[in-house]
Amino acid sequence: MTLVRHYDAATAPRGLIRHLLPIVGYPGRIWANRYMVQNFLRRDLMGRFHGSFLGAYWLLVQPLFQFIVYFFVFGMLFGNWKTGQLPDAHLAVFLFSGIIAFHALVETTSQTCTIVVDNGNLVKKVAFPSEVLLVHVSLVSVVIYSVGAAVLVVTGLLAGVLRPGWLMLALPLVLVVQVVITLGIGLLLASINVFVRDMSQLWRILTMAWMFLSPVFWEPALMEAKFHGLPSKLLFALNPAFPLIQAHRAALGVTGTMEASVNGIAATRDVVVGDFWSNLGISAVWAVVFLIVGYTVFMSRKHKFADLI
């Protein structure tokens, strides 16, 4: 007796609520297809540097070059260069820590936005688990972020402005939350982009505004000092990137600075970037919300993908 798998798009189960409970089995589905995820991950990493002279060493060169740029350019611009002072190493580390964290978030979501359309030959296969197709993209961003974080820690220690502690051991928890957030946003964007191809271009514009609304180039303490009350609270509460970036910084030992006066002389003092566990908890809540919304929307529209790509 031969069993034939049958699929009918017209009678396929749909609806958002129906996919709320099956989301519990999503990690198991990823684990069942782990070898496929590994192959995609390996292919993505190797494809980035195929034919280049430095190869995988570009993973180290790129963040190192970024750090040099931020140290000299942003340090000189924001520092008091008219007095002949050296670039502000503290500010460079603060900026670089925000850049690598936000870049990992944006790069993943931008790539997953078009991943269903770009892999139409695989998605059209009924038995192919297209919801797993996004996992390796999130893992690639973790690899790139890890290299950048290593460069940040080494250079920050050499400059004497980084104070890593035991919280660095909790950095993998931050990366897990980041992967879940990017998966949730990616599933949502990928499903929308199948129906509205402008989504990928629109997302690039939105992420540009999102970057300047996130604490990448500015410090929350200064923002609170300038915008008192509701505006700053809304900016912090409604921005899912805010607690995630601050959790990254707290785990790596990065601190902020604030202008102060010592014996009538202008100086700066260190300001903590926030409680690590509070920021991690808020980020985890955002991650669960994004995953539920993204997964249910993706799975409820999955039966239409093959006809539209």
Task: Output the tens digit of pLDDT for each of the chain's 309 residues.
Answer: 444 444 455 555 555 666 666 777 788 888 888 888 888 888 877 777 666 666 666 767 777 777 777 667 666 665 555 455 555 677 778 888 888 898 888 888 888 888 888 877 777 766 677 888 888 888 888 888 888 888 888 888 887 778 778 888 889 999 999 999 999 999 999 888 888 888 888 998 898 888 888 888 777 777 777 766 666 677 777 889 999 999 999 888 887 654 443 344 333 445 555 678 888 999 999 999 999 999 888 888 887 777 777
Q: How many other C-beta atoms lie within 10 A of the C-beta of residue 203? A: 21
Closest CA to 190 of 247, 116, 259, 132: 116
Instruction: Return left, alpha or beta for 15; rule: phi > 0 is left, psi -120 to 50 is alpha, else beta.
Output: left
pLDDT for res 86: 55
pLDDT for res 116: 83
Gap between the terminal Cα atoms of the chain: 35
Q: What's the helix, strand, coil split of the chain in %, to 5?
A: 70, 5, 25
pLDDT for res 259: 46
- Both structure tokens of 108: 């993943």
DSSP state of 133: T
Residues 6+ apart with CB under 8 A from 242: 214, 215, 220, 235, 236
pLDDT for res 284: 93
- Dihedral over Cα of 122, 128, 129, 132: its sign: negative
Helices (H) and strands (E) in the chain, counts: 15, 2
Q: How many other C-beta atoms lie within 10 A of the C-beta of residue 8? A: 7
Q: Amino acid letter at 221?
A: A
pLDDT for res 128: 73
Residues in the chain: 309
Label residues 186-197 b or e (16+ Cβ within 10 Å = b): bbbbbbbbbeee
| Helix or strand (DSSP H, E) at 231 | helix 230-237
pLDDT for res 2: 43
pLDDT for res 144: 85
- Residue 258 bridge partners (DSSP): 269
**Rounded (10°) CA dihedral 208, 106, 181, 144:** -150
pTM, two decimal places? 0.81
